[in-house]
Amino acid sequence: MSITVTTWSLEQTSPTDLLPAAAPEGDVRIVRAEVPSPEFSRFLYSAVGGDIHWLDRLSLSYEQWQEHLARPGVETWVAYDRGTPAGYVELDPQDDGVVEIVYFGLIPAFRGRRIGGHLLSYGTARAWDLADRWPDREPTKRVWLHTCSLDGDHAMTNYERRGFKLFDTKLSQEQEQPTPGPWPGGISPSGV
């Protein structure tokens, strides 16, 4: 069965565009995963995206994950709630001072706890100061991302509340696919 998917592209063009969310209560910390780890990154990708149709990276080999993660400037920032991974944001620097937030989201059990706004705020700030950690990169001039109608119910609202502005909308027809959950053959928390 074919479904219509709407993809929205959003951007910030100045660090002053960022409207940070308040930090959630409790012991929530955000830490950069500095050692490129295909196993950990694949865990985050499948745990966060397993119930919202993140499928594009599931077929990547270990070597492909390693190659991507080892690129200079690619960063993974992980939110931990009392020591447990709750979600992540992945930054991918591009040419001309552009940084894309390639992946962002929370593991289903951590959604609705006000962690997402904080993680997006923190990750966006790290996109803006990425060149401070990677001296060979030029300073960030633009941070962008895309989301789609398959993503979580609050994704678009969160991006807009953090100061991202819509710059493009596309419609596409895609084959409806079952969501695999956090691992192949696994059942997602929603039972799908």
The 10s digit of each residue's pLDDT in 61-89 is 999 999 999 999 999 999 999 999 999 99
Q: Buried b vs exposed e over 3-38: b needs ≥16 C-beta within 10 Å?
A: eeeeebbbbbeebebbeebeebeeebebeebeebeb
Say what the pLDDT of residue 179 is: 64
Domains and their CATH numbers in the chain: 2-175 (3.40.630.30)
The 10s digit of each residue's pLDDT in 104-152 is 999 999 998 999 999 999 999 999 999 999 999 999 999 999 998 888 7
Identity of the amino acid at 185: G
Say what the pLDDT of residue 183 is: 52
The mean pLDDT value of the chain amounts to: 90
Residue 178 in this model has a pLDDT that exceeds 80: no
Short-list 112, 192, 115, 103, CA closest to 148: 103
| pLDDT level of residue 1 (50, 70, 90 thresholds) | confident
- 142-148/98-106 β-pairing: parallel
